[in-house]
Structure formats: C-alpha cells, structure tokens
Structure 1
C-alpha cells in the first residue's frame, strides 16, 4: 500500500523553469475579491440608465475593459487577466447584492476571509466601494426582479422546501456553453463587426416585427467585438512599455512578441499555434468578465488547434517540447480565473469549480473514425505537469480509441487529481441524436461544464440548470405532500394518502411520481422566469456572438432570443440511488415480506430510527432497511427501479418547453442530467430519514452512483447496475463517480 499511496509524491511533474516559476507565482496568491468589475459596471449604469438592455450590457462591459487593471505575469508568454490579481474573483452586483451585503459587510454567517472553506481576502480599502455598490444596486438586481415575478409556490420550492435549488442562476450568469473558438480563430473579431454592419444594412423595416430588437443586437455585437479588440490593444501598449524597461534580452523579446501577437489577434485570424492560444485567452477572459456563470468551455481543443500545431511543426518554428510548454502556460493562464459565490451557494460548489472544460480525443465528425492526435497527448502531458484543477480536462473514449492513448489517460488519472474525466461516445452520441442533433454535430460534441455534451459554437440555452432534489420529493410523498422539516404542503398526493395509508407498492410509487411531476413544474417555472428576465434586462451580446456566431449574427438574435442552432435547458437530478433503494425497501419490507407496516416505517422515519420503545425498535427497522438489496450490486429488481424512476423524471422534464422554443433553435425543451458537483451534501441537509436506512440530514447519493457504502459486491457489480440506466435519455450528461481507496488497488 505504501508504494501506491506515494505515487503522487514519487512521480514528480516535469516542468520547464518558466512553467515552474509561473506555477509558483500564481499559487502564491490567496483567493481574493476584486471590486474593479463591479465598481466600473456600477459607474456605467449610474450614468447610462436608458439604453436598450443588450446595448447597455455591451457598453457597460466596454467600460469595464477600458478601465480595469491589466498586467502580464512574470515569465508568461501570454497576456490576459480577469481581475487585478491572479486567482482573485470579480463581483457581479447586477445579479444580487443582498448576500454581498450580508457577508462582505456584516459577516453573516461569515466574513469571506473567515469561512470554513473557500476563503477569500477582502481588503479594507475596498469596503467603501462595496458599500456604494450594494447601496446603488439594492432593489434593481436580477434577484429583486425574480422575487416580484415568481409565484409564491416556486419561491417556497427554492428557498424553503429545497425540492429544487437554482441559486446559481439567481446570483450569477448563465455560462454553460462552448465558445466557437474554431470559427473565431479563422475569422477574427473584425469579421463580427463586418457581419454586424451587414446585418444593420439588411434590416427589413417594412416586414420584420423584430427589426428594432435586431438593430439593437447588431449594434451591441459590433461594440462587443471592438471592446475586446481595444482590451487587447491595452496589452500591446503595456507589453511594449515593459519591454523598453526590461534589461534581460530574452524577456525583452518575449514581451515584444506578446505585443506583436496582440497587434494582430484577436482582431484578425490567428496565424500560428502561439497566436491561436493568445486569441483564446483574451476572448475567454472577456467572456468571464461579461458573465460570471461557470462552464464557459473550450470545445474540442486538440481538433481545432491541431492544424495550427502541424503547420508550425512543418514550417520548423515549433517542436513538441515547445508546444507542451505553450499549452502548460495557456493552462496556467486559464487557471488564474476565479469566482466568488455566496456561502449558501458554495455548499453546492465546494472547491470553487469553474468548469472551464477542455475536450480531447473522440471521433472525426465526418469520417466517424478516431481523431486522437499528437496534441491530445500534449494536453495530457500538460495536466500531468501542471497538476492544476482548471481547465477541466475531458477525454472522449469510443470503441476504437487507441490503446496507448487509454494507457496515457490512466497514467494521468492515477495522479489522483480528478482529471481527466472520461466520457463514452457510444452512450453520448445516441443521447444527442435522440434530442434531434444532426449526425455530424452529435459526433462533434464536447463536454460543457461538468458532464454536459454539446457541439461547440452551436449550442445556446444552458447545459446546466436547477438542482432537482428527487430525495426531497420522495420524502414528501410519504407524508401526503407535506415537508416534515418546514411543515409546508404545496401539493398533497393525488391519492390523498401517506405511507401509513398506502395499500400497495404501486400507490407508493405513484405518489412519488405525483410529487416529482409537481416539483418539475416548479422547476420549469423557475428556469423560464429566469430566462425571460435575462432576455428583458440582461441579454449578453458577447456570449451570443462568441458562443454561436454562425446563427446569432445571421438571425440578429441573442441566445436568450433564440439565436443558437440548438437550445436546451439542463437539469441536475439528485439522489437516484436513494429513490431506488427507498422504494425497493418499501416494496420488500411493507408489501412483499410484510415485516413491518407502513405506520411503523413512517414512525421510524419521523424519529430518525432512534425510538427504542417500539416493536420492532427504530434501530431494528433501520437495520431491516439497510439489509434490503441496494442499487449498485447488480440486483435487477432494484436496478430496474432506478432505471424506471430516472427515465420518468427525464421524460417529464423534456415535456416542458423553454423560452426559446419555436423561435429558431432545434430543441427548445428542458432535459436531464445526473450531475451533482457537491450538491448531494446540502440537499441531504434538508431531507429527513429515508426508507433506505439513511439517517436524517446526511448526504444523499451523487450522480447515478450507488449510495456511499451500499455497493458491497465490488466495482464490476456497481458498473453493471449503472449500465442499466437508460442513458439515452440523459442528453444533458451522465455522471458516475467510481472511487477507490489506494489500498484496494495495491
């Protein structure tokens, strides 16, 4: 065991002096909060209140990019920063300021620097700006508008019952798309300005009822592209000023090279591998300044960057060693981006995940053959050497993936960093085809955010959405729709019965479905109200034109107006294993074997299995519940319940339309994933004891993985159970976390 546990320590990264020093420089910074973005955005909104919302957004971000601090990190071959210091996080007061006021000013429940986890430095000299920002935005934020527009029962679902939680989209932006980097790299931002001007000239003022909205969009798109070009020009001036003062001739040439690159990109198409990386850094960082949503992803990096790599190698200006250093520098540059969430929302996203996903491997979308190339291996080397959590490296496997590539992936996974994640083409491509994706687009999917698939440059909406607490819905079904924690009952069971009165297992199962139907409706109300308010008040032109230029610029529409080729709203389902295990326990113990009554089980749940006076006692009933077969052990009867219940949720979600349905995109519905991040822990905190033997207010299961500690027949049995899930319905992503103790593998 000792040899296995020391693998990370004994296997040292191979870093050049430049990369090692840059890594040490970036990681020397503690996470902090930068007020600049919030300060300059507020400054603009105070002066320009009457512009159309999409143009106001473009002009506001232009103002931020003109005034924010810029710097070039020591030794870096690239420029671009999101905030005034590496790993600091900007603030986005236009979404919500209540939590900022409570935490930053009052320290409730913690000051950012005193949090139990995910701490942030907040400088005293910034507090005056914080107070002004919070004061000005109070009553004018996205959350303020949501509270005035949402029905009471939807607000209770989110805030009190926690049958669904969509706090990430109350407090922050959308994110969750893959930028059209391939298109941008080959066209440049000047082409966006040209197409926007062309769109303005071709407006049909006689017959088009949306002509005014399109005019606003095209003007905003041109402003957006010009503002990013101006932002790049600021680095040109900075790099030349630094070069003039630099005494080291080697570093002087590097700074001059940065200036030369940014004199060309992102305005014009990239000419070299290095220029392409610099282009991506600038546009990616600007997207994070416009939108604080996570999951702004890179797409199939090894595919669209390989032609640049091959040309430079063939021309003799680049070799593999140099390319590896450039990719490592690029990864470190991306790692400097950060996000600050409220403490409550942090519970769902421990470890500050940004989900800046970068996909390698997979298949050629036209030839339908393996697409692995030398750059795929370089990306694995870069993660192996940098050992940073961002970007989130993703690997696509399929039946013809080369064995040596699989072994290289295994070598990197063995480090224990959690990267790369592995996705199965044989499952994901059929799931996308099932939602109406064209064949070539389905084959060209990347991973967006955590586990969500979609083609880069074509998908709007958002792949991530509200967290749907299926365990909470199950619990309420046992109490005739009442939440035992809060006493709130929004939707009594259709049968009017609870666990005491159910006469058959079918009644119990139908009660769960009835509750799920109601809370899926609440989730759809939350999702669509958020999207409608974003469309009315905070359309994002940069996200739209960088995210899907081929259709947004053609249609004259933002994402929220239906500008993308494909558009879906994703949902995260939490607690699949708890549902299957609990329903199976009810079936076996109450109805099949009649070992206990529904009344006895309900009392045991109400008392968290602690009542020792009953016969059988609470602990005895818990033992019975735990001893019933569990999902994750290749038991068909319980696995079939997991399959049936998750399929029911997926199909019910897809029956709801989003606000872009019928407005241009393919799709336009909600759809389902099993992604959880760390939300299974806070969701467990609002769920009482459940019939699977789980104690009250403890974590529920993550993803479609077995409940922790219940898969006792080994990993092969667990995989067999998970494979029975109808993954073709999970077009927003499937998550199975298979974790081993190193001692088990020695």
Structure 2
C-alpha cells in the first residue's frame, strides 16, 4: 500500500472517550426517512388553510416543533435534533409529493432502500402516513403551482431538454444563506420578539404595505416564540433523564443542558458552550422550516472567538475543552439530513447538505490576517471527527500564515475532501463588482458549495438553476434543434447548422445565440419560483434568523426584499466542453481544413461509430481529441473559455430578480461554476460533441478541465483556470484538482 492510500489509516484520529462514543453512535445509523415533520405540517394545514400564508407557515412550523420527537444523544453536551433519529431526513410534502408517492410507495424507479446509491430506509408503519400526505397535498404543492404558471417553453427547457434544470427548487426550499449567529447569541430571541412587537405597534396604516408588515411581524413573533418553546422541551427532557441517571457525572451534565436550554436561545449566551447550543437550535429550526441545502454557519472562528477568549481568560474553558465542544458540535450538525428524489439525487450524489463553516481569511476592518486559535481548533475537529458535515472551508490570502497553510494541507491529505480553499484575492473583488461594500466583502463566508456572501446580510439564494452550456452548444450545431428529442424552441439566428456554417465566427455566434435564449428561460424559471414562494411559502424563521438586522426593521421577509444584499445565483456546467468543442471546430474545419462541417456533423450524429466514411467516425474522434484543450495553458483555447464564460456571466446579470428595486443591493441573477455531481446527469442528455466526447457521457465539472485532457500537469491547468475572468463569477468559482495517489508518492 502506497503512502497516500495508507495515510488516513496510519493517522488514526485522537478523540476523547465522549467524542469517540458519540461518533460511533451517530455513524451507526443508516440514512432513513422520518415522516413526523410532514405528518404534523399536513395535520396543521388541513385545518388552517384560511390563514395568511406567512402566518400559516409560522404556526405550522411551531406545531411541528411542539409535537415532533426529541432526544439527547448519549454523552452529548448539546441538545437539538431535526428528526426522530440521527441521519434521518424529514419530508416536505408542501413542495412536491409526486416523487414521494412514486418512489416511497411504488418503487419507481427505485424504492429509496433499493437505490444503487444514497439509500434511505422507511419503516413499514410509516407508509400509511406517506400515503395520506401524498393524497392530501396532490394538486396543492409548490410544484403544482409552478407547472400551472410557467410558460410552456420554460417547462420544456427544464423537463425535456435539460438545457436548464431547477428541479431542486421545485422539490425543496431555498436554503443557501448564513445567519448572523454572533448577533443572535449576543442579543437573544426575546430581543427579536420585543423588536418585532415595537415595529408592529409603530406601523403607519396609511402605508400601502402596512398589512404585509403586520403579517410579517405576527409571523416573526410566532416563529421566535416557537424556538424558545422548542428549547424548553429539551430542558424538561434533560431533567427527566437526569432524574433516572445513575452516573453522577452524566446527571450533572444533563442538568447543565437543562439550565442551558432554559437560558438560550431566549437570552444572550453567557459562554462558549451556550453560544454553540444557541447556534444548534437556530440551525436545526431553520432546517425544519426550509428544506433547502446550504444553510451555512458563517465565519465560525471569528464569531465564536470572543466567547473563546472570555472562557480562556476566566478559566471556564481550556483549549482541550474547546476542541471537544467543537467536535461535539460537528457531530450534532452531522445528524441533519435531506432526502431527494432519485432524479435530483443524480445531481447531488453523496447526500450533501452543504452546511458550510468558514475559517481563516481577513479582518473586515483592519484588513489583516484573521487566523486565530479557533481556526486551528476547527481543523483539529475535522481531522478527528472525519465526517463530511459541516463542510469546512478555508479562506486564503497573500498574508495567510505558512503554518496555517501547512495545517490545512495536513487535513486535506486525509482524503476526505475537506477543507476546500477559497482565494480572497479573487472573491473580494468579485463581490465588490456586484455592489458589496468593502467591509462586507472582506467579511464574506462560503455558503452552500462555493458561493460567497456575508452572514446575516445576504438574501435571495446563492444556488439556482443548473445551466447546461454543453446542451446549448449541441443545439447550436443543429440549428437550434435537440437531436435527441427533436424539439426546437429557438432556431439559430442565421438559420444554419454545423454543416453550413461558413466561418468559425458563425459557429461561435450560433452558440452565443442559443445560450442567450436558454439564459432567458432560466431567468423565467428562477423568478417564477421566487414569486410563488413569496405568495405562499415565505419563511419567517429564515428571515428573522438569516437577516435579523434588516428584515425586522424593514418589516419584510427575504422574498419581499428584506435582506441588504440579494442576488440569485446559478451553476454553469460544461465550460471546458464548450471551449474545447469550439476550438476543435475552428482548428479542424476552418483553420486547417482537415474535415468539413458536414463530416463532423455526421460523426456526431453517429457518435463517432460510422466506420464506412472517410475519414471514419473513429478517425474523426481521434482528430477531435488531438486538438489542444483547455487546461494546458494554451492561450488560444483558454481565451475561448474566458470569452464564453464571461458572456454567460454578463448575460445573467442583465436579468433582474423579483426583489430588484425593493430594498436590497443587487437584485440580479449572477454566475457560479459550482457543479456538485450534475455534470454526470447533464452529460446523459447530451450527444457527442466536437471535443471528442462521446454521447451521454459526463461533461466537465465546474471550471475544471475536461477529465483526461489536461496533459501538461497541474501548473498548466491552474494557469488556464486563472485566465478566466473570475471577477465576474460573484456566485463562486469551482476548480476541482484531483491527483492519483501514485502521483504523490
């Protein structure tokens, strides 16, 4: 076994007895589906459909929190659970029940417990509950409303062509924000209640939005009280457990948990442990309300550091205890889960939750390195717990300490994929390019996968529709027609195809024409979803915890313009395939004239399999593969990648979202190259492409080179990626660099 393969085995984690037992307990649970949240929400909705939507949602979540199962894990120093068992996922029938019925009850295409990957169990006794939920919600869901209101072209784009796919936000909530946890645990939830009551009492009823404000404040007060009552349930439970506990040490811990849960989140946190318990309660309740991935934590080492210093100074905290508490916190968060339909799972393999936690970076005021002891403690916690959530990310800048970089490298070497690294020198200018104030840009955290934003100030969503650039490219080669389905929504502006293009400029212009049309379709999908959410699924908890310093004074939830910054993100898939394909067309057809457009078009139509032509399909594929590719520091190819991605980014920003002009800074769509695993399902709907890629195979991920084509080493690949106009990628830049273990021996 080589050094790289054995490193994770040879470097065993160092855990306290508590953390080791808790780790074994949490990881002993298979993924499962819990029906409680869906059951209680449906029960409430059945009798309360006449309520104002935002108030109805607040009361429904309050009802769920009052009735769902709660527990305290063995040995844990914290309370808070999302479902009836660790790593089980709740159901959210208000978003969509079709896939729930098809998969959980009919096994189409699989029962969740029979899936090829990402399997979930479901108890036999819960199936009747699922059936009842599906029956009541049929025709009433978010997805039902969207299908009724979206134009046919947008539905075709999403369902049939997959030129843009936004199924995540048909089936689930928004997520993708980071609460201002420091503000929350320094003020307490009672402060939110008092502020909301004050603003409600001061409403000027002559204002045209007065009734909307009143509804929001009512919902805010209900939601704030709901989390206080939720914490009180754990206080009672802890006392009951303590009364039965024979171990005196554990009895004392349980009584301390009870005391903590009666204090936070009602009151401001008094110490490091209480601050963490506050964060857990807020996070869990948002997850129960929202059903979105990417509910993130912000800059943990910054907002927790004052509490850390206070504890060290007064002797109530040691570094060792801080490590154990952070590891306990990590395992508590790891219990959260989300179940997706099998189709959506293809885009999110590995059950990712994107509960991102950021460390490192710079002080937003002093503009100097902000690395502190908690930065290292988080790395230690990731090293020893070795769980994929929270998603640890690190901010690097030109003055990041060398020893911190080496510690980061040591943790990455484990092979868990954590932490990810983000570059301040790129991200800060990109945010300022979208209107962020300087200090806010310096204070960014990573939200979701790779998306930057300032905790407590960003609404909208950082994740959005997947834009399948490879599909737009393919349709541009067939005069706007999808060769797989035969559907044509938009002919090329010049009414030509690959066999009749007279110049490379015509080919490039045809692609830009197609991608421009499908960006418009994406904007329609994004804004229709947001409008429907605003009308019927506005989230008061997300508002008062996600952006408390702006939503409460404005009297507006996030979808009505309550955040300081509001931008709608998206994911751009297949940059490398587009650049490589366009360059192959330029080189083989127009520059060197080795083959004609008609010959290449036939080779693509036959997936390079026709051996009767001259040259044969296989020979044409070899020619396509031989052309220089993006990722090898070849300026001519890299410039095409830069130009094509910049066009997409600038075109997206030309579209406004539903919050534009309603208070926030921004109010547009913007661009990301985040991919997760979507490059695989997007490849399944794309035929062969001029870069030599065969039909129905995966396309490139993020802004990474296409796999197997970056043949000049990592330095050349990085040089190509660096040529992209990353300042335009204000929703995040993703470059995955992967090494074979043998290469690192």
Partners of 1:715 and 1:112 lie apart in 2 by 39
Partners of 1:87 and 1:647 lie apart in 2 by 40
CA drift at 1:73: 0.3
Match of 1:127 in 2: 127
* 1:200 equivalent in alignment to 2:200: yes
Match of 1:56 in 2: 56
Which consecutive segments of 4 or more residues in structure 1 shift more than 6 A? none
* 1:153 equivalent in alignment to 2:153: yes
CA drift at 1:606: 0.1
CA drift at 1:678: 0.1
Partners of 1:5 and 1:178 lie apart in 2 by 35
Which structure 2 residues correspond to residues 241-320 of structure 1 after superposition, within 5 A?
241-320=240-319
Q: Deviations over 1:33-82 (max 9, x none)?
A: 00000000000000111111100000000000000000000000000000
TM-score by length of 2: 1.00
Match of 2:557 in 1: 558
Match of 1:454 in 2: 453
CA drift at 1:344: 0.3
Partners of 1:413 and 1:347 lie apart in 2 by 26
Aligned length: 745
Partners of 1:579 and 1:257 lie apart in 2 by 58
Partner of 1:194, secondary structure, is helix
Q: Deviations over 1:465-500 (max 9, x none)?
A: 000000000000000000001000000000000001
Match of 1:16 in 2: 16
Match of 1:99 in 2: 99
Partners of 2:534 and 2:721 lie apart in 1 by 39
Partners of 1:188 and 1:710 lie apart in 2 by 54
Partners of 1:609 and 1:171 lie apart in 2 by 37
Partners of 2:359 and 2:247 lie apart in 1 by 37
Partners of 2:46 and 2:251 lie apart in 1 by 42
* 1:167 equivalent in alignment to 2:159: no
Which structure 2 residues correspond to residues 586-601 of structure 1 after superposition, within 5 A?
586-601=585-600
Which structure 2 residues correspond to residues 78-117 of structure 1 after superposition, within 5 A?
78-117=78-117
Match of 1:36 in 2: 36
Which structure 2 residues correspond to residues 591-740 of structure 1 after superposition, within 5 A?
591-740=590-739
Partners of 2:538 and 2:666 lie apart in 1 by 20
Partner of 2:619, secondary structure, is helix
Partners of 2:733 and 2:202 lie apart in 1 by 43
Match of 1:385 in 2: 384
Q: Deviations over 1:363-405 (max 9, x none)?
A: 0000000000000000000000000000000000000000000
Match of 1:542 in 2: 541
TM-score by length of 1: 1.00
Match of 1:578 in 2: 577
Runs of at least 5 residues in structure 1 that lack an aligned partner in the other structure = none
Partner of 1:453, secondary structure, is strand
Which structure 2 residues correspond to residues 472-551 of structure 1 after superposition, within 5 A?
472-551=471-550
CA drift at 1:3: 2.3
Partners of 2:140 and 2:559 lie apart in 1 by 20
Partners of 1:338 and 1:494 lie apart in 2 by 46
CA drift at 1:523: 0.2
CA drift at 1:742: 1.0
CA drift at 1:199: 1.0
Which structure 2 residues correspond to residues 415-430 of structure 1 after superposition, within 5 A?
415-430=414-429
Q: Deviations over 1:451-470 (max 9, x none)?
A: 00000000000000000000
* 1:69 equivalent in alignment to 2:69: yes
Partners of 1:646 and 1:202 lie apart in 2 by 48
Which structure 2 residues correspond to residues 232-243 of structure 1 after superposition, within 5 A?
232-243=231-242
Partners of 1:745 and 1:376 lie apart in 2 by 27
Partner of 1:358, secondary structure, is strand
Partners of 1:524 and 1:52 lie apart in 2 by 28
Partner of 1:33, secondary structure, is strand
Partners of 1:144 and 1:178 lie apart in 2 by 29
Partner of 1:360, secondary structure, is strand
Partners of 1:65 and 1:374 lie apart in 2 by 36
CA drift at 1:180: 1.2
Partner of 1:268, secondary structure, is coil
CA drift at 1:4: 2.6
Match of 1:183 in 2: 183
CA drift at 1:182: 1.1
Partners of 1:138 and 1:187 lie apart in 2 by 42
Partners of 1:494 and 1:487 lie apart in 2 by 18
Partner of 2:453, secondary structure, is strand
Partners of 1:495 and 1:14 lie apart in 2 by 65
Partners of 1:7 and 1:460 lie apart in 2 by 41
Q: Deviations over 1:417-455 (max 9, x none)?
A: 000000000000000010000000000000000000000
Q: Deviations over 1:69-125 (max 9, x none)?
A: 000000000000000000000000000000000001100000110000000001110
Match of 1:569 in 2: 568
Partner of 2:570, secondary structure, is strand
Partners of 1:148 and 1:413 lie apart in 2 by 47
CA drift at 1:2: 1.5
Partner of 1:672, secondary structure, is coil
Partner of 1:406, secondary structure, is helix
Partners of 2:49 and 2:463 lie apart in 1 by 31
User: What is the alpha-carbon root mean square deviation over aligned residues?
Assistant: 0.5
Partner of 1:384, secondary structure, is helix
Partners of 1:3 and 1:741 lie apart in 2 by 12
Which structure 2 residues correspond to residues 301-340 of structure 1 after superposition, within 5 A?
301-340=300-339
